[in-house]
Structure 1
Amino acid sequence: MQKLLILLFIFLGFEGFAQKQTKNFVEKNLNIIRSIDPDSTDFTDVEVIGNAIGNSRIVMLGEQDHGDAPTFLAKTRLIKYLHEKKGFNVLAFESDFFALNEGWDHLDKQKTTINNFIQQNIFSIWTSCTQCENLFYNYVSESFGTNNPITISGFDSQFDGGYSNNLKKYIDDFFKVNDIPFIKSKSYIDNFLPFIDSIKISKDVAKQTLFIKQIDTIFKQISKKWEGSFELLVLHNLQESSKNGISFLTKAKDYKELRDKQMAENLKWLVNQKFPNQKIIVWAHSAHILKNREFIKSKSSNENWTNMGHFFTRDSLLNQQTYIVGFSSKYGTAGRITIPNTYKVVLPIKNSFEDWMNDNIKYAFVDFKRFRNLNPNSFEYFNMKGKYHIYNEAVWTQVFDGIFYIKDMYPCEKSVLKF
């Protein structure tokens, strides 16, 4: 018994030391960011982020909720810096994989057509937010008047973009060119093709199940030369979308995980197949991009799901090439333009990451990857609002590579721009 007490004392003492170690690192390696204004083009203050990113080819930028106005401003400024100073020229969104690849690739790259396409195919939580206007409706389109244009892409398995109205014809044309036997069946005409138009809204589990089986039949009939192609990946997205729909309708536990696993596959394809020699910025919710989720203590079973970042970084090479930036805020209000009500962010609790921040600091950055390199044996749990605007206890230094701190949060203003 005495030995157990001694071991417990040693363990608790080690935990306390580790926490002190992390806190000391944060306080001594806190990099003040001067501004989040997208028009602030003196990037000397954000060079610390560039140095932290180093030679990473993929940079993921998170957000605690899909309406965090100052986070969107900060991300816009970071995107400009990464584009102009670090050679990143692909911007991939948590939005329609099919629309933002097939549609973008065939788009006439003029300012009006670009702005209209963005507004119709990237989720309105961003495109209808005033704080995103600078990026979407000025910077991207104006880059096509330079020698360094920005390519827009997407990796979400949901077919929510306006361009996806072309999906049924796209699929049908692909099957006809390849003379797929299934297209000659009555089931193809009566069930398969019509269902593509209703896949987003269908609440019929039987039809979803049939659709999944039909795609399996099609996979067996397609030539192996198409393996790894965009066309087959679109079919996988259709199939996983139906699986996701069934999971949601039946209240299964894998509802979120199905989507995230496919998003990871889509992002891998973008990185390895479509843009193998380019640097990519990923824009998504922090809950999708974080890694090593096993280091987060979940407060409910709803949080205990395997996410895109976890699937993506299981590939050791991709993990080495990726730098993941989370966001944290201390005070304020949050909400989305698609939801009428706003809410107060959780106030800082004692000895949390946000509590370590002096109130005179508005914006700052901490490089957790550097902490890991300096302290490879440190796995300390501490509280931080890294996943949402609520606290989770986690080894946050293993979950994100860096944290962008914002003192005051406020929700988006609704944009009135129409194209």
Structure 2
Amino acid sequence: MFYCKSNISSEIDWLKDHTYSIQLHEFDDHSDLYFLNPLLQNKRIVFLGENGHGVAEHSQIKTKMIKYLHKELGFRVLAFESSFSDCSLCFYQQYQLDIRQWMKHSLFKVWHTEEVETLFHYVKETQLSNQPLILTGLDIQPASNDYITGKFLSKMFSNMDKSYGEKIVELEQEMLYQYVNSRSPSISKKERKRKCKEWMKLYQEFLFLLDKNSLELQNKFGKDAFLLVNRTLQNRIFLMQMISSHFMKAIKIRNKAMADNISWLAQEMFPNEKIIIWAHNGHIMKQSRRLLGFLSTFSYLPPKIKEFSYTIGFFMYSGQAAENNRSVYEVQQSDQDSIEFRIKQVGHEIGFLDISQQRKMPQNRWLFKHTYTMHEGKQLSLIKPSACYDGLVVCAKTSPPKYINLN
């Protein structure tokens, strides 16, 4: 259904009064983000989405927002939709790595880009300040095949007995091989389940060892490192469950595990810190079953965390983007009754609209009912904006990232 011209006109007039412009050409000037202050004053977790992992402007906008949130609003933890263990343990070894090594060992390849490299330079600079920005991850899937996590685990378990260190390295290597080949037809489903069950038991035994020697290990390695290793082993058990399950169940396990990691970061690791989450729109959506067919990561969070969260969905009207394999595609322009078309009509290259503070009226009723959007710039979908996000960012035109080969 298309709205008549007068309805569109009244909607655009309302949007002009409620949509803010974000300026990327003023990258080091964050004053244009002042509108975030009243929206986030009582929020502890901010979720920054992206309508596909291969959109340069989304990474640039998020980097600008992260700087503002860190400098002006006191957010000190940044958690990526990437490996919890690799991100966390690399952060504690960052001084042994240059920026690109740090990125390579921490993040999935979709974020090995110049745009994200800018963010890593900023994170590095903050380590010399009184308010360092801490980098961690959410995902149970490993990002690096260089055994960064395995080496750290080996160091801790070798402190108890050298044989434990050797055994955990062997287990990590087998886990990585199984993960990389988790969809290979050369291994039967029955055999994969048997192996995963066996490895879950071994990881559980290492958790028992960790608990048994907790005081000694915390004294030697510090409480934070001990907590991260403990959580890493629990994540490995979730990973074994994921790769031994069918596709839809695997998605559920992954999303729930990432939600559990967010809860753990907020309640156990950083109980007094404000946190920024970097993840795909599909993970941060409050309601996703209608669009994606399964519950989002956000859906699994406990109510007390949801209450103090603010989610921002990112969208694109035209231009290009890249698939996860880096192939470039054209963004399909959506029709006039879509989220992207409406906000684009305001005239901003990048527009931000808050939903959380709006009351329903004729000029904005589309925010409160099912409205068209172009999922990842490729597939026309229906979502209820007010039920899915607290705020929306729409880019009039996008481009693919500038990838860095970190092999």
TM over 0.5: yes
- Secondary structure, in 3 states, of the residue corresponding to 1:154? strand
Matched, 1:390 2:370: no
Where does residue 391 of structure 2 map in the other structure?
402
Where does residue 254 of structure 1 map in the other structure?
249
Where does residue 358 of structure 2 map in the other structure?
371
- Work out the CA distance in 2 between the residues paired with 1:76 and 1:193: 33
- Work out the CA distance in 2 between the residues paired with 1:262 and 1:289: 14
Deviation at 1:327, TM superposition (A): 0.7
Q: Percent identity?
A: 23
Matched, 1:131 2:131: no
**Deviation by residue 1:23-58 (Cα, 9 ceiling, x = unmatched):** 5796254323141246341x3321112322222111
Deviation at 1:388, TM superposition (A): 5.8
Match for residue 198 of structure 1 among 168, 174, 177? 177
Where does residue 45 of structure 1 map in the other structure?
32
- Secondary structure, in 3 states, of the residue corresponding to 1:141? helix
Where does residue 345 of structure 1 map in the other structure?
331
- Secondary structure, in 3 states, of the residue corresponding to 1:403? strand
**Deviation by residue 1:260-313 (Cα, 9 ceiling, x = unmatched):** 11111111111111111111111111111111225xx33xxxx2122211112x
Match for residue 75 of structure 1 among 62, 65, 78? 62
1:362 and 1:406 in contact (8 A); partners too = yes
2:80 and 2:279 in contact (8 A); partners too = yes
Where does residue 414 of structure 1 map in the other structure?
403
CA separation of 1:253 and 1:358: change in aligned 2, threshold 3 A: same
Deviation at 1:400, TM superposition (A): 0.7
Match for residue 317 of structure 1 among 301, 304, 307? 304
Deviation at 1:123, TM superposition (A): 2.1
Structure 1: runs of 5 or more not aligned: 1-15
Deviation at 1:97, TM superposition (A): 0.8
Deviation at 1:394, TM superposition (A): 1.6
CA separation of 1:330 and 1:36: change in aligned 2, threshold 3 A: same
Matched, 1:273 2:268: yes
For 1:18-417, list aligned pairs within 5 A. 23=11, 27=15, 29-37=17-25, 39-41=27-29, 43-108=30-95, 113-127=98-112, 129-136=113-120, 138-161=121-144, 164-167=147-150, 170=153, 173-174=156-157, 177=160, 192=171, 195-203=174-182, 204=187, 205=192, 206-216=194-204, 223=211, 229-247=227-245, 251-294=246-289, 297-298=290-291, 303-312=292-301, 315-336=302-323, 339-356=325-342, 357-358=344-345, 360-371=347-358, 379-385=368-374, 389-415=378-404
- Work out the CA distance in 1 between the residues paired with 2:205 and 2:155: 15
1:29 and 1:366 in contact (8 A); partners too = no
- Shifted more, 149-158 versus 387-396: the winner is 387-396
1:37 and 1:74 in contact (8 A); partners too = no
2:83 and 2:139 in contact (8 A); partners too = yes
1:37 and 1:77 in contact (8 A); partners too = no
Deviation at 1:215, TM superposition (A): 3.9
Scaled by the length of structure 2, what TM-score is found?
0.80
Q: Which letter does structure 2 place at the counterpart of 1:36? A: L
Structure 2: runs of 5 or more not aligned: 215-225
Q: Which letter does structure 2 place at the counterpart of 1:126? A: W
- Secondary structure, in 3 states, of the residue corresponding to 1:155? strand
CA separation of 1:169 and 1:148: change in aligned 2, threshold 3 A: closer
- Work out the CA distance in 1 between the residues paired with 2:286 and 2:106: 27
1:65 and 1:389 in contact (8 A); partners too = no
1:371 and 1:397 in contact (8 A); partners too = no
- Work out the CA distance in 1 between the residues paired with 2:172 and 2:392: 46
Q: Which letter does structure 2 place at the counterpart of 1:261? A: K
1:38 and 1:77 in contact (8 A); partners too = no
Q: CA RMSD in A?
A: 3.7
Scaled by the length of structure 1, what TM-score is found?
0.78
CA separation of 1:194 and 1:28: change in aligned 2, threshold 3 A: closer
CA separation of 1:198 and 1:330: change in aligned 2, threshold 3 A: same
- Work out the CA distance in 1 between the residues paired with 2:385 and 2:371: 7
2:372 and 2:380 in contact (8 A); partners too = yes
- Secondary structure, in 3 states, of the residue corresponding to 1:145? coil
